[in-house]
Amino acid sequence: MCGIAGVIMKSGDADPDILDRLAAALAHRGPDGSGRFVDAGQGLAHTRLAIIDLETGDQPLRDAAGNVLIANGEIYNFVELREEIGAGEFQTKSDCEVALPLLVRHGPEFSATLRGMYAIAAIESDAGRTYLARDPFGIKPLYYVEDAAGVYFASEPKALFAAGITAPKLNGLARDEFLQLQFTSGPETIYQGVRRVLPGETLTVVAGRVTGRGRRDALPSGAPQPLSEADALKRVGDALMDSVMVHQRSDVPYGMFLSGGVDSSAILACMRDLNERPVEAFTAGFFGTGARDERAHAKYVADAAGANFHAVEFSENDFWSLLPSVAAAFDDPVADYAILPTYKLGQAARDHGLKVVLSGEGGDEMFAGYGRYRRALRPWWLGGRKMRGRGILDGLDLLREASGDWRTRMAASEAAALPGRSKLQTLQAMDCADWLPNDLLAKLDRCLMAHGVEGRTPMLDPEVAEVAMSLPDGLKVKGGHGKYILRKWLEGALPEAEPFTPKRGFTVPVAEWIGAKGRRIGEAVASTDCIAEICDPGRVIDLFAGLQGNAARHHGQAAWVLLFYAVWHRIHMEGVAAEGDAFDVLAAA
């Protein structure tokens, strides 16, 4: 895992100073080394977190024909691809080097057979083309700016700002979407002029201009297949074991995040069978709050699997003291409250000497675990409702100008229906288009890379997706349970996980902690220019003060998003240092 950045100029030479500033801003993503490539109007910068081929895997990577590549990510099927291509083609043992001969053979389609998570910049020298490619699920981020001078790209927007390429200017429509959804969707970001390379997208850049776009779908097309439960169980088990096996390929120590839920327990069951040594498992919990503490059950599951269990407590003091650091890590903002314990888990994994962590992200999307799927499948007279039909701030009378325009940015994902897909498959595809890459995977990337740790997601693998999306709907949702077939497999593989026992979803007691400082923090948030611009300050104060009682969950989520946005804006838009606690940042001159 690494940081990548570069420039492709329309005319003139690439400025080495810009590359140096880009690399410096991405140093946290790659603390083990850095590299540069400059050739007339093109320049590439790379910061390395060494995971595979520790001795010869430095980047940029080059071949005899002058093609050059930098990558942020891991190619899990590199062993198989190297055998297929031929060992004589390679100068290193790097997993990412396989993309160079594929570039020669397939040009802009070079990533079609890659199985992994990646953001890649590749220069096809003879053709005079540069490609910017991102993995189909969007596990690894990539951003770019295209202006009159050329195209600039980086793993994080703040690198583009630090290099002086552009300045952070707020995109109002994206801001509104963020406040209503807790993330932003589509190619546009919360910053004017800074765009995302979309999941699965490959941009072709010629002479400093984007001239082409290709797209590789994360999910297979087609309707569910008629499978028996026995056949489905075997296919799911085989796919999971194979995916976890390749996701463990590493030359450095690795572990996992364990919540004790179905997805992470399934990963643990596979790791137990694939490893001779005990798995290092990390779980976050909250003592003395109204939120369910997962640690006792997770330890029971870990002990049953023979894993070494590491409990990590996230406290009220952590909430206030770490919030500025967490917000600073999210230049592309995500207000999913799970970013808080995930950030501390990443820190704990690093402190235990790990550079790689496997996680269960993607299980709900692949195997239809969310309750919102079941609600959306019901008719309205039985309580059915559309996914994301209501925003976080809707109905609270907080906004100066309430508008539904933010929903226009969701149009692309809501048009994810393809011929032959069932309604459930379409709902899953919608989440894979926006919620998954722009919330869950952004959370994992930023929280772990802030500590120089790589997060891997075995559930988000082409082989797993092929099996999961082919399952009959009735084996995904059955008897009131989502992820039925995954639960059934886990019941046999690791019954101590109790996969059919009703469990509450993972929650962080942010409303409880905010409510304890109610009016004081409400006044601090309401007094910021960014909140006063869009909300009635008095109503914001009342919202926060009201959390001290038995406020609705909706109120707590709204208060949290406003608090996060106020801290985020102070750091990323106003240039306030992420020092002290949340009150210090909000009060800074």
Is 78:87 a contact under the CB 8 Å cutoff? no
Instruction: Please spell the DSSP secondary structure of 277-306, one letter per residue.
Output: SPPEEEEEE-TTSSSPP-HHHHHHHHHHTT
| CATH fold of the domain at 2-215 | Glutamine Phosphoribosylpyrophosphate, subunit 1, domain 1 (3.60.20)
Is 563:324 a contact under the CB 8 Å cutoff? no
Tokens of 371: 């309750």
The percent helix, strand, coil of the chain (3-state, each to 5) is 45, 15, 40
Instruction: Please spell the DSSP secondary structure of 306-334, one letter per residue.
Output: TPEEEEEE--HHHHHHHHHHHHHH-SS--
The sign of the dihedral angle between the CA atoms of 116, 120, 125, 130 is positive
How far, in Å, CA of 127 to CA of 206, rounded?
Answer: 9
3-state secondary structure of 377: helix
How far, in Å, CA of 212 to CA of 209, rounded?
Answer: 9
Angle at 347 between CA 345 and CA 353, to 5 degrees: 105
Angle at 50 between CA 270 and CA 40, to 5 degrees: 130
Mean pLDDT, the chain, whole residue set: 92
Q: Where are the domains of the chain?
A: 2-215, 229-497, 510-587
3-state secondary structure of 240: helix
Written as tens digits, the pLDDT of the chain (589 aa) is: 589 999 999 998 889 999 999 999 999 998 777 889 999 899 999 997 656 555 656 889 999 899 999 999 999 999 999 999 998 888 888 899 999 999 999 999 999 999 999 999 999 998 889 999 999 999 999 999 999 999 999 999 999 999 999 999 999 999 999 999 999 999 999 999 999 999 999 999 999 999 999 999 999 988 999 999 999 999 999 999 999 999 999 888 899 999 989 999 999 999 999 999 999 999 999 987 777 788 999 999 999 999 999 999 999 999 999 999 999 999 999 999 999 999 999 999 999 999 999 999 999 999 999 989 888 887 666 555 677 778 899 989 999 987 777 777 666 556 555 677 899 999 999 999 999 999 999 999 999 999 999 999 999 999 999 999 999 999 999 988 999 999 999 999 999 999 998 766 668 899 999 999 989 999 999 999 999 999 999 999 999 999 876 666 789 999 999 999 999 999 999 999 999 999 999 998 6
How far, in Å, CA of 262 to CA of 360, rounded?
Answer: 9
Which H or E element spans position 541?
helix 537-545
pLDDT for position 135: 97
Is 357:257 a contact under the CB 8 Å cutoff? yes
CATH superfamily of 229-497: HUPs (3.40.50.620)
Single pTM value for the model: 0.95
Is 59:37 a contact under the CB 8 Å cutoff? no
* Locus of tokens 């886990």: 490
pLDDT for position 405: 76
pLDDT tens figures, 204-240: 999 999 999 999 999 998 899 999 999 999 999 999 9
How far, in Å, CA of 310 to CA of 444, rounded?
Answer: 19
How far, in Å, CA of 132 to CA of 431, rounded?
Answer: 24
pLDDT for position 375: 86
3-state secondary structure of 506: coil
Is 346:319 a contact under the CB 8 Å cutoff? no
pLDDT for position 252: 85
DSSP category for residue 405: G
pLDDT for position 50: 58
Backbone angles phi, psi at 102, to 5 degrees: -70, -35
* Locus of tokens 């976890």: 244
* Locus of tokens 């804006």: 569
Is 485:162 a contact under the CB 8 Å cutoff? no
Tell me how far CA of residue 241 lies from CA of 62, 76, 256, 271, 363, in angstroms. 34, 14, 15, 8, 14
Is 44:68 a contact under the CB 8 Å cutoff? yes
Is 545:289 a contact under the CB 8 Å cutoff? no
pLDDT for position 203: 98
* Locus of tokens 């960014």: 530
Q: Which residues lie closer than 8 Å to 290 by C-beta, 6 or more apart?
A: 509, 512
pLDDT for position 415: 57
How far, in Å, CA of 512 to CA of 547, rounded?
Answer: 7
Is 499:487 a contact under the CB 8 Å cutoff? yes
Domain 2-215 identical in fold to domain 229-497 = no
Is 323:340 a contact under the CB 8 Å cutoff? yes
pLDDT for position 57: 64
pLDDT for position 390: 81
Contacts 24+ apart (CB under 8 A), 307-311: 307/258, 307/268, 307/272, 307/278, 307/279, 307/280, 307/281, 308/278, 308/279, 308/280, 308/281, 309/258, 309/281, 309/283, 310/280, 310/281, 310/282, 310/283, 310/348, 310/352, 311/283, 311/285
pLDDT for position 348: 97
